[in-house]
Amino acid sequence: MKSKVAERMMANMPEDVKIFVDKYADIVVRINQLLKEKGYSQKELADKMDKKPSEISKWLGGNHNFTLHSIAKLEAELGETILYVPKRISFQSFGGGSVYLTVKKNDFIDTNVDFEPIKSTNFKTENKVSNVG
């Protein structure tokens, strides 16, 4: 249960700050998941990245503004993607409209594929699909 003070702070917080906090938390959780999966401590990660353990602690403690460069270094060292940039692709539907898919990986996707018509009267011309990749 949130305190009234916390609720008031959240209500008055600019939307960009809320988004930043959410994304920052997601990145830190992802890094910690990868460290756990790979059996790395923060100190071992610091050693592998030629950083001081205090810097890694700062990164994962909420006192750092990640740059794309630091995220890229972490991804290279951990061998896993931390930050996904979705790509929106469009397919022409049989009704003349477009169907949109959002994919996490920016791999090449052939949009010149023939699909069987969907036999549904509830078909919407704009579908959102995630977690494809």
Using one digit for the tens of pLDDT, what is the confidence trace for 86-125?
887 777 777 777 777 776 665 555 555 555 554 544 544 4
pTM of the shown model: 0.63
Task: Find how far residue 11's CA is from the centre of its chain.
Answer: 25
Count CA within 13 A, CB hemisphere, residue 15: 0
DSSP assignment, residue 94?
T
| Domains with residue ranges and CATH for the chain | 4-78 (1.10.260.40), 84-133 (no CATH)
Using one digit for the tens of pLDDT, what is the confidence trace for 52-68?
999 999 989 887 889 99
What is the secondary structure of 29-75 as a DSSP string?
A: HHHHHHHHHHT--HHHHHHHTT--HHHHHHHHTT-----HHHHHHHH
Instruction: Determine contact, residues 126/98, Cβ cutoff 8 Å.
Output: yes
